[in-house]
Amino acid sequence: MRSLFLLALAPTAFVLSGCIARTAADIVTAPVKVASKGVDLATTSQSEADEKRGRELRKREEELGKLERRYEEQLEDCRDGDRNACSEASETYSEIQLILPTIPAEPD
């Protein structure tokens, strides 16, 4: 009976030793994994930075398009004799001049 118990216990010991070794390895590597995850969260990859720049550029281009359309409408009203539209067109033109330098020129 005792030999049957030892025979059944032997494979269990091998299985448990693997679990214990794996758990010990996880415990040892846990601080490294946590630190590397923190570094990943704290840094921005080049592709993420490029995507962010692209979004910002598209937003400025969209704003420029809106201002240009508004400016054209105000300029047309100004030509029709609306003095208020002339001053609004001047203000809108100033806003356009502020945004233009932030948008890169497209290659020819």
pTM: 0.55
**With contact defined as beta carbons under 8 Å apart, do 61 and 100 qualify?**
no
Please report, for the chain, the start and end positions of each structural domain, with discontinuous segments joined by +. 58-103
Instruction: Give the residue-averaged pLDDT of 37-58.
Output: 81
Percent of the chain residues past pLDDT 90, beyond the cut? 43
Cα–Cα distance measured from residue 85 to residue 70, given in angstroms and rounded to the nearest whole number: 10
User: Of 5-9, 21-25, 84-88, which has the strongest mean pLDDT?
Assistant: 84-88
Instruction: Indicate if the pLDDT at residue 20 is higher than 70.
Output: no
Cα–Cα distance measured from residue 17 to residue 103, given in angstroms and rounded to the nearest whole number: 63
